[in-house]
Amino acid sequence: MNEIEVAYLFSQAGNQKEGLPVWIFYIALCVILLLLFLAFLHNKSLRKKINDIFLVYKKNFLKFWLTAVRRHEEKKRSRLLIQLGQHGLEFWPQLKEVKEATAEIKSLEEKKQNLKESGQAENSTQLNGHYQAIGLIIDRTRPEIEQLSIYYSKLDTVERRIKILERQLENL
């Protein structure tokens, strides 16, 4: 062999570090983690303590999530009542047969006309409360008009869902 090749081989051997190889460290770390995991599985009180810590956060998250879903369902209910009020006014000639609703809806319509005359109710978003009140009246009396029955069924499902969510919130 050439002197340059021999010097090259010896220089590599001189650069090697003293001690254990790195792969032995990773194997020892894995063994330690495995032993900790087995100890965790075996110790019930340790598992219960860790579970109790996470249970608090789980309850808080569930409460937040259920209130958000309930708020969404209540907004959906109000939108359905507004739509029911708007469509109920379209079927006003058929609603005049319902004596209980007629007087209340007439007074609301007079208030709406007064608002329009004074210029306060310019767009439909300001009249949403008006339509929602009419929708509540129609929903309470539930006249037999086929076109409105779709809104009744949707309102029933939303109200059932709201009651279920409220029960779940109480149980937390």
- Any idea which of 65-74, 120-129, 149-158 has the lowest mean pLDDT? 120-129
| Residue at token pair 């063994």 | 31
State the average pLDDT over residues 36-41.
84
pLDDT of residue 11: 55
pLDDT digits (tens, 9 = 90+) for 83-109: 887 777 776 666 666 566 666 666 767
Q: Are 81 and 137 in contact (CB under 8 A)?
A: no
Name the residue among 71, 106, 93, 108 with its Cα closest to residue 143: 93
Residues in contact with 131: Cβ distance below 8 Å, sequence separation at least 6, in sequence order = 81, 82, 83, 85, 86, 89
Q: Are 144 and 95 in contact (CB under 8 A)?
A: no
The three-class DSSP label of residue 37 is helix
Q: Are 151 and 88 in contact (CB under 8 A)?
A: no
- Any idea which of 9-18, 65-74, 87-96 has the lowest mean pLDDT? 9-18
